[in-house]
Amino acid sequence: MNSSAPVRVRFAPSPTGHLHVGNARTALFNWLFARQSSGTMVLRIEDTDVDRSEARFEDQLIDDLKWLGLDWDEGPDVGGSFGPYRQSDRLPIYREHAERLLSEHKAYLCFCTEAELQQERERATAERRQPIYSGKCRAVDPAEAQQRRDSGEACAFRLRIPEHPIRFHDIVHGPVEFSNEVVSDPIILRSSGMPVYNYVVVIDDALMKITHVIRGDDHLSNTPKQVALYEALGWPVPEFAHLSTILGADRERLSKRHGATSIANFRDMGVLPEALVNYLALLGWAPPGGTREIFSIQELVKEFSLERVTPSPAVFDMEKLYWLNRHYIKQSSTQRIEHLALNFFRALGLLSSAHTQGLEAWFSKVMALVLPSVDRLEQLPEKAAVIFNHDAKAALTASDNAEVLGLPNTDAVLTRFTVKILEDESAREGKLTAECFKKIVNEVKAETGAKGKELFHPIRIVITGSHSGPEFDKLIPILEEGSHLALPRHVLSVHQRVEAFAKARGK
RNA sequence: GGCGCUAUCGUCUAGGGGUUAGGACGGAAGAUUCUCAAUCUUCAAACCCGGGUUCGAUUCCCGGUAGCGCUACCA
């Protein structure tokens, strides 16, 4: 172990789709560890699975990582002195080292066919034996093997697993030991000449001088093979840190079935990157004392510690993410949030991207009204429906409104209110102020004797279609100003709403 | 099946041989408000089971159970 060497870590995703939250956490922990120890972060693309890998996914991955605020010092896009950083560009390297292992008798040629191996495995399972490779070709004389290879016989390269238990250290799990009895001599180079994952990962990590391998614990059982490989190659074994799996609410491995799982999903929902980073850091890590929850990414760089990472699997809790997101939405500058929020309204055609006079100031008021009630930005248009939508008929027939509409005073309130608004000069022009509105409401109160919810609920039904909702002081100016803006979806003024409601009511 | 990993409130976790087992999310109640949201206050809620070690285990050890992973010429 080269613990004194400068820290070098890597994040090594397969470009098979968008960045998943589990991988994002792995990337984050690698990055935090690198940054806090002034180490080097390497991005390596594991694209040896040609069938599933696509170049465009690599760009997506990079976008997703950058969105989270992560960066790297070496990688396919930025270069570096340990490249190439795409496995598909490293094939000659893998072959070269495989040949070396062969010549040193650390590896041997295996002539067993896939069908034979398959049979052997089936027999072993049937007889309840360990389905590991028999080691049949270990016995083949190297010279004879070479001859058979030269004559064109198909063969794979297998690593010789040592005759002793394999031990390694894991920062999150402590010492780990595997009996050599249970680990097969692994194939490192297929008969097709293509190297196998467990082999290339070792070659790459070693050649890239990776000192700490931080990855998902689904690789824990593969690690003994990899350790054996390091030893066969005569290279130092790195430190390992295997991170627990992230589970869904049903305690199964988090997958698309559980809804949003990719970084892009969260971005599209209007989750802020700092909220996601904070949340991901808290999944499996806690600061000493364990009472602090809010961490900026810079604070995490300071406070994070691999030693404090828990080994047990964690269930992804959307609600807690949303809580953090609400926190960061409040923390953010209104300018930034409004800029992000605008896109959600544009996407639905509620607002256009054209410059509309007075839009910015008006939109700020809309945001001030609805922002406190959302978990994520995508909910904004729905919350702003009270502004953009008005359906008097629906308001009259909604079951939620039945009780209020049936109250003894409601009819009088509605009638007085309607008359006053329709008569009001400023309302007719869509220039009713919050003060004037309040004055009218107070007059209705005095004339009908209705107060509290008897007074406010019917009026709110007229204006918004629902008895509960935002305060009038804030809402009225938004409606009035909105009615003067040139918007794709016209915002009805108070007067227009009252008029429509009166018409629907037929009184 | 074999091997490995894991096990504290519903969830994320702190803690650790003797504690009123701490915090956060969520939940409930209350305050505030015309209502909703926000905010504030309060409350409920956990050491998987069985053995051992020990004066004393939730903590250490062993076993069980459960969950997850690996067991490929997949990554």
- Which residues of chain A (220-259) touch nucleic strand B at CB < 7 A? 220-222, 244-245, 247, 251-253
Question: Which pLDDT score, from 0 to 100, does residue A227 have?
Answer: 95
Would you say the C-beta of A372 is within 7 Å of strand B?
yes
Torsion of the alpha carbons at A56, A61, A64 and A66, rounded to the nearest 10: -110
The mean pLDDT of chain A is 91
- Residue with CA nearest B26 C1'? A319
A132-163: pLDDT as tens digits: 888 888 888 999 999 999 999 999 999 999 98
Task: Answer yes or no: is pLDDT of A88 > 50.
Answer: yes
For residues A427-433, give the mean pLDDT: 89
> How many structural domains is chain A composed of?
3
Side-chain-side CA neighbours of residue A434 (13 Å): 8
Judgement on whether residues A341 and A221 belong to the same structural domain of the protein: no
Would you say the C-beta of A94 is within 7 Å of strand B?
no
Is residue A210 assigned to a domain?
yes
Is residue A326 assigned to a domain?
no
A179-209: pLDDT as tens digits: 888 888 999 999 999 999 999 999 999 999 9
Is residue A208 assigned to a domain?
yes
Backbone φ/ψ region at A489: left (φ over 0), alpha (ψ -120 to 50), beta: beta
> What's the CA–C1' distance between A180 and B61, in Å?
25
> Quick one: pLDDT band at residue A507, thresholds 50, 70, 90?
low
Judgement on whether residues A264 and A219 belong to the same structural domain of the protein: no
Is residue A3 assigned to a domain?
no
Question: Which pLDDT score, from 0 to 100, does residue A387 have?
Answer: 93
Would you say the C-beta of A335 is within 7 Å of strand B?
no
For residues A82-110, give the mean pLDDT: 93
End of a domain among A318, A350, A366? A318
Judgement on whether residues A499 and A364 belong to the same structural domain of the protein: yes
Is residue A48 assigned to a domain?
yes
Would you say the C-beta of A18 is within 7 Å of strand B?
no
* Chain B, protein-covered positions (CB within 7 A): 1-8, 10-15, 22-26, 33-39, 67-75
Would you say the C-beta of A29 is within 7 Å of strand B?
no
Q: Which structure tokens are listed for A103? A: 């010549």
For residues A339-351, give the mean pLDDT: 93
A501 neighbors A417 (Cβ within 8 angstroms):
no
Task: Answer yes or no: is pLDDT of A4 > 70.
Answer: no
A372-418: pLDDT as tens digits: 999 999 999 999 999 999 898 888 888 888 888 888 888 889 999 99
User: Which nucleotide has the shortest C1'-to-CA distance from A470?
Assistant: B36
Judgement on whether residues A295 and A443 belong to the same structural domain of the protein: no
Judgement on whether residues A99 and A200 belong to the same structural domain of the protein: yes
Judgement on whether residues A12 and A73 belong to the same structural domain of the protein: yes
Task: Answer yes or no: is pLDDT of A169 > 70.
Answer: yes
> What's the CA–C1' distance between A65 and B12, in Å?
24
Is residue A325 assigned to a domain?
no
Would you say the C-beta of A353 is within 7 Å of strand B?
no
End of a domain among A291, A318, A345? A318
Residue A88 makes CB contacts below 8 A (sequence gap 6+) with A45, A47, A48, A50, A53
Question: Which pLDDT score, from 0 to 100, does residue A365 have?
Answer: 92
- Residue with CA nearest B73 C1'? A190
**Cα–Cα dist A248/A422, whole Å:** 55
A14-51: pLDDT as tens digits: 998 889 999 999 999 999 999 999 999 999 999 887 67
User: Which nucleotide has the shortest C1'-to-CA distance from A375?
Assistant: B37
**Cα–Cα dist A393/A388, whole Å:** 16
Judgement on whether residues A231 and A115 belong to the same structural domain of the protein: yes
Would you say the C-beta of A320 is within 7 Å of strand B?
yes
User: Which nucleotide has the shortest C1'-to-CA distance from A48?
Assistant: B75
Q: Which structure tokens are listed for A144? A: 């004879």
Judgement on whether residues A69 and A94 belong to the same structural domain of the protein: no
User: Which nucleotide has the shortest C1'-to-CA distance from A188?
Assistant: B73
Would you say the C-beta of A196 is within 7 Å of strand B?
yes
- The enclosing H or E element of A434 equals helix A434-448
**Is residue A219 helix, strand or coil?**
helix
Q: Which of A106, A209, A225, A256 is catalytic?
A: A256
Would you say the C-beta of A403 is within 7 Å of strand B?
no
Q: What is the torsional sign of CA A25, A28, A29, A30?
A: positive
Is residue A155 assigned to a domain?
yes
Would you say the C-beta of A184 is within 7 Å of strand B?
yes
- Which residues of chain A (464-483) touch nucleic strand B at CB < 7 A? 467-472
For residues A265-294, give the mean pLDDT: 95
Residue A492 makes CB contacts below 8 A (sequence gap 6+) with A390, A479, A483, A500
Question: Which pLDDT score, from 0 to 100, does residue A2 have?
Answer: 44
> Quick one: pLDDT band at residue A504, thresholds 50, 70, 90?
confident
Judgement on whether residues A60 and A140 belong to the same structural domain of the protein: no
**Cα–Cα dist A7/A38, whole Å:** 7
End of a domain among A243, A266, A288? A243
Judgement on whether residues A239 and A252 belong to the same structural domain of the protein: no
Q: Which amino acid is at A313?
A: P
Judgement on whether residues A272 and A353 belong to the same structural domain of the protein: no
> What's the CA–C1' distance between A320 and B20, in Å?
28
A45 neighbors A16 (Cβ within 8 angstroms):
no
Would you say the C-beta of A48 is within 7 Å of strand B?
yes
Residue for token digits 């049937």? A126
Rounded to an integer, what is the distance from CA A206 to the centroid of its chain?
Answer: 30
**Cα–Cα dist A268/A418, whole Å:** 42
> What's the CA–C1' distance between A178 and B50, in Å?
27
Concerning whether A256 is annotated as a catalytic residue, the answer is: yes
- The enclosing H or E element of A22 equals helix A21-36
Q: What is the ipTM of this complex?
A: 0.94
A357 neighbors A482 (Cβ within 8 angstroms):
no
Would you say the C-beta of A194 is within 7 Å of strand B?
yes
Task: Answer yes or no: is pLDDT of A257 > 80.
Answer: no
Would you say the C-beta of A331 is within 7 Å of strand B?
no
> What's the CA–C1' distance between A392 and B69, in Å?
58
Compute the C-alpha angle A70/A72/A77, nearest 5°: 110
CATH code, domain with A274 = 3.40.50.620
A345 neighbors A353 (Cβ within 8 angstroms):
no
- Residue with CA nearest B1 C1'? A128
> What's the CA–C1' distance between A480 and B6, in Å?
60
* Domain region containing A366: 334-507
Question: Which pLDDT score, from 0 to 100, does residue A1 have?
Answer: 45
Judgement on whether residues A212 and A253 belong to the same structural domain of the protein: no
User: Which nucleotide has the shortest C1'-to-CA distance from A253?
Assistant: B68
Is residue A444 assigned to a domain?
yes
